[in-house]
Amino acid sequence: MTVHAEGSERTRTMPSTHNRLPRSADATTILAFFVVLQFVLPSRLVMNSLPLSLSAASLTALGLGALWLSTQMTTTLGAAKGSNPVRTMLFAFFCVLVASYTSSAARYLDSDEREIGDHIVVSTVALILVALAVCDGVRSRDRLYFLLRVIVVCGSAVALVGILQYLFNFDPTPYMRVPGMHFSSFDSSASDRNGLTRAVGTTANPLEFGVFCAMVLPLAFHLAFGARQKGRGGWFWWTCVGLIACGLMFSVSRSAIVGLVPAMIVLFVGWPARRRVWMAAASVGFMMVIKVVSPGLLHTFRNLFQNANEDTSVQARTHDYDTAEHLISQHLWLGRGTGTWYAPKHEIFDNQYLLTLVENGVLGLISFVGIFIAGAYAVLRVRKLWARHPGAERASTDRDLALSLLASLVVIFPTFATFDFLAFPTVSAMAFLLAGVSGALLRVVTAEVLGEPSDPYAVV
């Protein structure tokens, strides 16, 4: 295939498929390894003999950061360069994070606050590096879908563990310790609500488990519908959809529903009419199954919202506004320092917006939330680009993927207001992965629409 560059007499020749270089391990392979470590292993597992309590996934993320930095110094390793909305906001948040850390280090801090602050800064930088590695290192649609499939399969594994905890009162996570690692705590995060066990999967908390399932579910829908259209493997992806949906319900979490509702609204608005009708019927059938499997579950969810004003967990999320306002006014722009406000030493802020304002100031909140706004902008840009070429081969699939990514990203914004999001590693990693995938998809589609090769392996 020959592509003529606009405004130039030069041509670029693309070889046929049989001339492609053999596919070997690349950044996407390491990212898939990170996903497995982050999602499948219990979040309480940390590495032995390290001064900081870092997980194997965090170490992998730091290694990805070193790899990303190396690729940015060369022109032969195939990494993307140049502007991208997600990449720009990641860089802005990193700069604010460093500035906030430097500002806090310049004044007195208790030793425990400084130690925890160091740990949180390293963990947050690791997540930034993961998002950068996805945005710049996943260069083709094929590798992008490979990463998405790994995310959905691992999400289904997390949900399966939660189903075992809920239905059979069996928790396999204590048996999932691997050599060279230990549990940072031995207290079970499982709890009950109205006599119902709240599943946690491999995450740290039922709330985190439910929100995580809500974030993965739109991606599982995309893979399931895509496989159905192609006529192959649909049963496997629909099984993943069922596991993730059950996991969400078995978390018995109000925050999971708060995140799921806007995500489903986004999907229903963007889906074709036939798919909406099919999914509405399937949702009714799913609720009937839940009613049979766990008769009191739907009633519990109804009470969670009907009696929200009397719920102590809701009251705990709203009584700390005066404290937050006082702290924010003391360090308005850069905050008091990442990780320096923590429980049980300080009052808990079950609100990531407030916590970011306190720890990183106004600049921190703008740049942090801006990462996910940039991800939403990137996928909307993808849909707009393909709207100009509706008959293109990949237009329909990419637009549907962009819609699913937007739905997953939408889960983040309301749930920021319901708990301290960044304190939970599984949902935090998922959020940064979504931002990176959105940026990578925009790079792939932009290159394809402009007639440029997006995959370095495609050029011999």
Phi-psi region of 325 (alpha: psi -120 to 50; beta: other; left: phi over 0): alpha
Token output for 412: 């983040």
Cβ count near 296 (within 10 Å): 13
Residues contacting 76, CB < 8 A, separation 6+ = none
Distance, in Å, from the CA atom of 270 to the CA atom of 404, rounded to the nearest integer, reads 9
Distance, in Å, from the CA atom of 44 to the CA atom of 47, rounded to the nearest integer, reads 10
Burial of 87 (0-12, 13-18, 19+ CB in 10 A): buried
Asked if 130 contacts 433 with a C-beta cutoff of 8 angstroms, the reply is: yes
pLDDT digits (tens), the chain, 460 positions: 334 443 443 334 444 444 444 556 789 999 999 999 999 999 999 999 888 889 999 999 999 999 999 999 988 888 888 889 999 999 999 999 999 999 998 888 888 888 898 999 999 999 999 999 999 999 999 999 999 999 999 999 999 999 999 999 999 999 999 999 999 876 655 667 778 999 999 999 999 999 999 999 999 999 999 997 776 768 999 999 999 999 999 999 999 999 999 999 999 999 999 999 999 999 999 999 999 999 999 999 999 888 777 776 766 666 677 888 889 999 999 999 998 888 777 788 889 999 999 999 999 999 999 999 999 999 999 999 998 887 778 899 999 999 999 999 999 999 999 999 999 999 999 999 999 999 999 999 999 887 765 554 443 2
Domain limits, the chain: 2-7+23-458
The candidate with the shortest Cα–Cα distance to 286, out of 258, 249, 261, is 249
The candidate with the shortest Cα–Cα distance to 331, out of 103, 41, 64, is 103
Backbone angles phi, psi at 197, to 5 degrees: -65, 135
Task: Measure Cα distances from 387 to 41, 383, 400, 407, 443 in Å.
Answer: 41, 6, 12, 19, 16
DSSP three-state, residue 153: helix
Residue in this structure with the two tokens 């809701």, named with its chain if needed: 314
Q: Name beta bridge partners: 4.
A: 11
pTM of the model: 0.92
Distance, in Å, from the CA atom of 196 to the CA atom of 86, rounded to the nearest integer, reads 40
Token output for 149: 């499939």
Upper half-sphere CA count for residue 367 (Cβ side, 13 Å): 22
Asked if 148 contacts 37 with a C-beta cutoff of 8 angstroms, the reply is: no
